[in-house]
C-alpha cells in the first residue's frame, strides 16, 4: 500500500529546541514535510510560545504554512492535568 502526504497539514509537531530530545528543528522538519508534499504543520512547545518560530519558518519555506500551536501543560498555563 502506498500513502501520499500530498496536501496534509499536521496538527501536532514537536521540534527542537525543546526540553527533551526531538527528531529535528522547526526549519528542517518544515523543509522535509514540504518535500514530501505536505502543505503545513502546527508546531508545539512545552516551555515557550511558538508564534515567532512559525513566523521565521514561514519566511524561509515558500509554499508551506507553519502555525504556532498551544500545549496545555503547567509551564504554559497548567490546563492539562
81 residues of the chain, pLDDT tens digit each: 888 999 999 999 999 988 889 999 999 999 999 999 999 999 998 888 899 999 999 999 999 999 998 887 776 667 766
Phi, psi of 4 (to 5 degrees): -110, 140
**Which of 39, 40, 50, 41 shows the shortest CA–CA distance to 16?**
50
36 in any annotated domain: yes
Q: Which helix (H) or strand (E) holds 28?
A: helix 26-35
Residue 70 to residue 22: CA distance in whole angstroms: 17
In a domain, residue 4? The reply is no
Structural domain of 71: 9-76
Residue 3 included in any domain: no
* 2 within some domain: no
Give the number of domains in the chain: 1
The answer as to whether 1 is a domain residue is no
Amino acid at each position: 500500500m502506498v500513502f501520499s502526504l500530498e496536501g496534509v497539514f499536521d496538527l501536532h509537531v514537536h521540534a527542537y529546541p525543546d526540553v527533551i530530545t526531538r527528531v529535528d528543528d522547526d526549519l528542517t522538519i518544515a523543509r522535509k514535510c514540504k518535500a514530501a508534499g505536505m502543505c503545513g504543520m502546527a508546531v508545539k512547545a512545552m516551555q515557550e510560545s511558538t508564534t515567532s518560530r512559525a513566523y521565521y519558518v514561514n519566511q524561509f519555506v515558500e509554499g508551506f504554512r507553519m502555525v504556532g500551536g498551544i500545549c496545555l501543560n503547567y509551564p504554559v498555563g497548567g490546563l492539562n492535568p
